[in-house]
Amino acid sequence: MNPQFPERIMQTDSRPLSPHLQIYKLQWTSALSILHRITGLVLSAGMLVVTVWLVALAGGAESFEHTRAVLAHPVIIVLLIGWTLALFYHLFNGIRHLIWDAGMMMDIPSARRSAWVVVGLAIVLTILVWGVLL
Amino acid sequence: MSQFRNPLHKAHHYGAAGSGVEHWWSQRFSAILLIPLVLWLVWAFTVLVGADHATATAWLAKPWNAGMAILFVVAAFYHGRLGVQVVIEDYIHHRLAEIGLQVLVSIVALAAGLASVLAILMIAFRG
């Protein structure tokens, strides 16, 4: 018996458990749901880069040039593009969640359609922004 | 008299009943606030990526941009902290590790948020 999961002790009858993640088939909707969390973590980590950039800018031309050189590295550029994609995804999927919170568009066809819209918008806008930047 | 009181009313301010929805609302409010701020950030991105020190400083020193930058940074670190907090609660099942991580995330979010705001203020007031 695992003391960290007291619900197992409390379960005295043989009621069915809801399927756990490991055996639940990954679907469009559930994949997007977990992606919302992953992109949230990515964005939080990236905010530290925003802080580094701001502090370097406030620190004067020399510290800023150094940071700018580091950020211009091809690997960092790829990470920044990924961060932008995460940003747009989290933005649009967040709006989708807010619409659900208001009790709207909760049926499965709408959820599937809005999933496509969110992913499509995120990809298109990332390409647009970096098309302007590069 | 007291036996006529609603059980929910009795439960208020005891355990989760006192603050259960506060976190949820804070997350939604900061999310709504971040919608226009992120759009501003994308615009800032197109101006600032690759810009030299003089250009970036002059742009960020404008009152409107400095104000939006401060709002964005505060809302983003606040919203980020709330989100990471829930992820830690959900996936870290070792109690001590969970508390340690929560403290660490709070400190990092607070420190980085403060550093960002101070940096923006320095840029705004020095021009």
Q: Of B34, B53, B123, which is closest to A61 when you measure between CB atoms?
A: B53
User: What is the rounded distance in angstroms from the CA atom of residue B74 to the CA atom of residue A63?
Assistant: 24
DSSP annotation string for A63-80: HHHHHHHHHTSHHHHHHH
Cβ-based neighbours of A106, under 8 Å, separated by 6 or more: A100
Chain B residues with a Cβ under 8 Å from any Cβ in chain A: 28, 31-32, 34-35, 38, 41-42, 45-46, 49-50, 52-54, 56-57, 60, 69, 73, 76-77, 80-81, 83-84, 87, 93, 108, 112-113, 115-116, 118-120, 122-123
End-to-end CA distance of chain B: 66
Beta carbons of B53 and A37 less than 8 Å apart: no
Chain A with chain B: Cβ pairs closer than 8 A = 88
ipTM of the complex: 0.85
User: What is the rounded distance in angstroms from the CA atom of residue A77 to the CA atom of residue B50?
Assistant: 11
Predicted confidence at residue A88, as pLDDT, reads 98
Q: Which amino acid is at B91?
A: Y
Closest Cα in chain A, distance from residue B13 (Å): 25
pLDDT in tens, chain B (127 residues): 556 777 777 666 665 555 678 899 999 999 999 999 999 999 999 999 889 999 999 999 999 999 999 999 999 999 999 999 999 999 999 999 999 999 999 999 999 999 999 999 999 998 5
